[in-house]
Amino acid sequence: MKPLSATTAPAENSNRYSRQSFLGTGAEAAIARCTVGLPGLGGGGSHIVQQLAHIGFQRYVIYDDDVVEESNLNRLVGARLADAAAGTRKIDVAKRMIRGLQPDAEIRAFPCRWQKRPEPLRECQIVFGCVDSYLGRSELEIACRRYLMHYIDIGMDVHGLETPVIGGQVILSSPGGLCMRCMGFLTDEQLAQEAARYGNAGARPQVVWPNGALASTAVGLAVDLITNWTRRRRLHAYLSYDGNAATIKDSITLRNLDPNSCTHFPASQVGDPVFAEL
User: What is the greatest pairwise CA distance in the chain?
Assistant: 62
The phi, psi pair for 4, rounded to 5°, reads: -90, 0
pLDDT at 57 over 60: yes
The pTM of the full predicted model, rounded to 2 decimals, is: 0.90
Mind listing the pLDDT tens digit for each residue in 64-90? 999 999 999 999 999 999 999 999 999
What is the Cα–Cα distance from 136 to 139, expressed in whole angstroms? 5
Q: How many residues does the chain have?
A: 278
CB of 206 within 8 A of CB of 156?
A: yes
Q: Are strands 165-173 and 106-110 parallel, antiparallel or unpaired?
A: unpaired
> How many Cβ atoms sit within 10 Å of the Cβ of residue 74?
11
Q: Are 31 and 55 in contact (CB under 8 A)?
A: yes
Backbone φ and ψ for 7, nearest 5 degrees, come out as 55, -140
Give the domains, in start order, of the chain with CATH numbers: 18-251 (3.40.50.720)
pLDDT of residue 51 exceeding 80, the answer is yes
3-state SS string for the chain: CCCCCCCCCCCCCCCCCHHHHHHCCCHHHHHHHCEEEEECCCHHHHHHHHHHHHHCCCEEEEECCCECCHHHCCCCCCCCHHHHHHCCEHHHHHHHHHHHHCCCCEEEEECCCHHHCHHHHCCCCEEEECCCCHHHHHHHHHHHHHCCCEEEEEEEEEECCCCCEEEEEEEEECCCCCCCCCCCCCCHHHHHHHHHCCCCCCCCCCCHHHHHHHHHHHHHHHHHHHHCCCCCCCCEEEEEEECCCCEEEECHHHCCCCCCCCCCCCCCCCCCCCCCCC
- Span 195-231, pLDDT tens digits: 776 544 456 778 999 999 999 999 999 999 999 999 9
Predicted confidence (pLDDT) per residue in 177-199, tens digit: 999 999 999 998 888 887 776 54
CB-facing half-sphere around the CA of 152: CA atoms within 13 A: 26
Give residue 22's pLDDT: 95
Considering the chain, what is the average pLDDT of its residues? 89
pLDDT at 197: 66
